[in-house]
Amino acid sequence: MKRLEIIIGICIIVFLVAACSMNDMNNTPTKQVEIFFKKYQMLDESVLNDLNRVVAEEEQFNNEQREKYKDIMKKHYQNLIYNIKDEEVNGDIAIVSVEIEVTDYSRILREAELYLQQNPEEFQTEDGEFDIQKYSEYRLNKLEDASETVKYTLDIGLTRIDEEWKVNQISEIDEEKIHGVYEY
């Protein structure tokens, strides 16, 4: 009986040491940036909540278009590719350079704007007024068919707080790059 208690005790100690090691392995700037991008790829609840909030605020879409846009962005997030390039740590501050590859929606949106300028009559109501719904549907169809990608390098800042690395608020430009709408 004592031998069984000793074996169980050793197993518990080994398990706790392994768990602590795994925790330390996840507590690096690089690992936190990987977790950050995997949340997009895995459609994490926090990512979807942000997407739902942004789409709900979009006034030019009707309800059907909002759902279509959400589907487009979900596919975009799942297809996001990232590659960690470098990690620099200076005390409790770190920068992780990461290359991302995303669908090039900025090109599609520029082309849609140009098409609108050249063909305004296609997006008018019967009485000659601009119809934002028609134009929104046109843009959504173009975004849905987008396949070209673009690569960006982001420098993600992190801060160590209470021995845990946390990704800092990313810039608006980096957000645009992640969403594929950065005007380059």
- Mean pLDDT (the chain, rounded): 89
* C-alpha to C-alpha distance for 173 and 152, rounded to whole angstroms: 11
Of the candidates 19, 159, 48, 29, the residue with the CA atom closest to the CA atom of residue 98? 29
Band of the pLDDT at 9, cuts 50, 70, 90?
very low
In a domain, 57, yes or no: yes
Residue 9 lies in a domain: no
Write down the pLDDT at residue 112: 97
* Residue 22, pLDDT above cutoff 60: no
pLDDT of residue 26: 80
In a domain, 11, yes or no: no
142 is a domain residue: yes
Mean pLDDT, rounded, for 109-128: 96
**CATH number of residue 84's parent domain:** 3.10.450
Overall number of domains in the chain: 1
* pLDDT of residue 8 exceeding 50: no
The answer to whether residue 70 sits within a structural domain is: yes
CA 43 to centroid of chain Cα atoms: 9
pLDDT tens per residue, range 68-92: 999 999 999 999 999 999 999 999 9
Query: Which among 147, 122, 144, 153 has a CA at the least distance from the CA of 135?
Result: 122
Any domain includes 15: no
Q: Does any domain span residue 10?
A: no
- Read off the pLDDT band of 12 (50, 70, 90): very low
Q: Enter the pTM of the model.
A: 0.82
Condensed to tens digits (0 to 9), the pLDDT of residues 86-100 reads 999 999 999 999 999
Q: What is the mean pLDDT of residues 12-25?
A: 44
Residues 6+ apart with CB under 8 A from 61: 55, 69, 136
Q: Domain range holding 54? A: 27-179
User: Is the pLDDT at 16 greater than 70, yes or no?
Assistant: no
| Residue 34 belongs to a domain | yes
